[in-house]
Chain A
């Protein structure tokens, strides 16, 4: 399972390579990446950077104390670490999340970090202090005895209560609890296993912790790869399951296929693709304005016309 947070696209490849290299070495026992080298220095550097540079209003955060609270899990059996073991760590590092800036996601690592622009546009979990310090990292104690295991660490397939998964579960729960205003969710409609994993961090550790009294509405963006397969769109398959779940919980929600600003970002990489080109016929033709729950679309025509229609109403 790929590391949580906003890991870049090449991380799974790196993990695969490291796993294969590790398999050559003696004694690999877990399925996941070993403890990140220089974990403490990276952790402290990120904490200092976040609280001094990025969000100077958090300058009173005590990064040493936050590290001390975090590292208690490094003394525990790597299959006995619970989300609650991170309670003190969360207590010391938590901070408010600006309204309307929460961005939840599944299967959209790089896109989310690109689009959120280091807290300037949005603040996904990896742009929150307690998400930033652990992003891309891996950690666990050795099975037998003290000291960190740099060869491998357990994944959820090895055991449920492993340090990294429990961290992200705890962080996700907090992030959800502290989110308010409009909640945004970015899903990948080209993901073969479905855009909304019914078992996953978002489904199990974020949605259940949404605070109904703090949330105005939920907006879902189902993004598709440029020229890629349209596996699911709004109102279909697992997205429909998500929509029904949110409705049952009493949330007002909407769904947009290929939300335009994010689509434009995807087009940077595919600037000559037809999906990123002007369709002059569509520009001049009046089409039916879609309902709030947009229909499937593999092109930009519908969002473009919605924008036009909204623009003309102003």
Chain B
């Protein structure tokens, strides 16, 4: 009675005296939390995809006030965000290509190479300068050649890449997007990425990240996403969220050695031993969704701590959950090795086709012209939806926008929004953004012709006949869901369901990337600079010489000359021989 009331009052007082948001108090600790999760999803072709997500949420305001005490949030990234006025940062380093047609919609796809897109705060006055500094600093942090990002591969999209976090007002001049398709990802990019994790690679899920297994895969993508989010459902205050995601697809044939049974040890050559003490949540999800409403295909061992059902990407899916923080998991053995066994052989006709997938290729022959063709498939039986296509083409492939044709089902399909920014030689690339309506159950073919430029000999990369890369084009769409999604609390649902904000449950947001292209350009002969200069100057000199002679000399009747020394000597010799003189 009175005791309870007193305890309640005490609790209320304690809560009221807690840190108020917005008070820059040096001694106060900002609350930060780490959640980590691993999602294992077997793919229709027999491969298995593993997606790691490490999410640090920090209830601090990096913009206002000097924050000096970093706990879980890495200091390098925190200072970067504060110093350069970054509102959102998304960096992805990818090796390989996600085959949407065969593997299904990706949870989070990234284009081959390096991709960086950043929203700056409205307070930043010189966005280009901040962008240049940012790419150089990130290049140092991640040991990637992001310093090659300059105006020739940066674009300002107007419709794609809307902010994924909190945003008030979206002036697209604060957005910058660049992709480096030639960038290679290797161990020296993984190491600094792992170092940003609060537990490093010593405890928790990150112990599985061993480079020799991760790079022996079909697809490896590591990303860093920083964005502001609502602190709670009422959204009165803001927190910063740092997500580090790593997606790897292990190839069935090369890694699986012919057997389709997977285990953590087989994939990563390690097992989970303990949890990261700094993590507030640490879970492993295994996708055991039944296909076609039949019995399950998979059997997982050891038995999961719980089973979770969620609507992910418009479909109902079932997950076996292993909660690493639950004491019962590490009771029997010190290590957790999740094993997946196929209960019955998978029928190839069961392979589901994703609702939206795309393909891109270069057509044409020779080194003068070519054509970029993009095919976008909408396999939904009765729903049509629009898709935004963003193409960034380097300046040395001169696009002709009057040759742009979009054909769907044999008829021309006019885009409802088209934004084209032509390239300027050696200064900026082409930017083409279109909003195209995809009718149900159709294939849309988009073709555009280009001309290949001859560059100066110093502008070719080493091995010029390898070709030049054209970055992947980006397709952003709200795909209609099969199952409507219920609005659940973001904090309670798994991380892999909450990256993209969903306005309503009837459709889900997906961002797809097409293949990068490799295009050959005509090359000059690199061994010839001196020869060419000499020969061309010779031709100019021939003209100059002929004209000089004709302009400065006049015609004269030839005077008989006494003969030079040579003639006189010749005449002396002829006199000796008895021959008439010259």
Is the pairing of A and B real?
Answer: no
Q: Which residues of A contact B (CB under 8 A)?
A: none
Interface residues of B (CB under 8 A from A): none
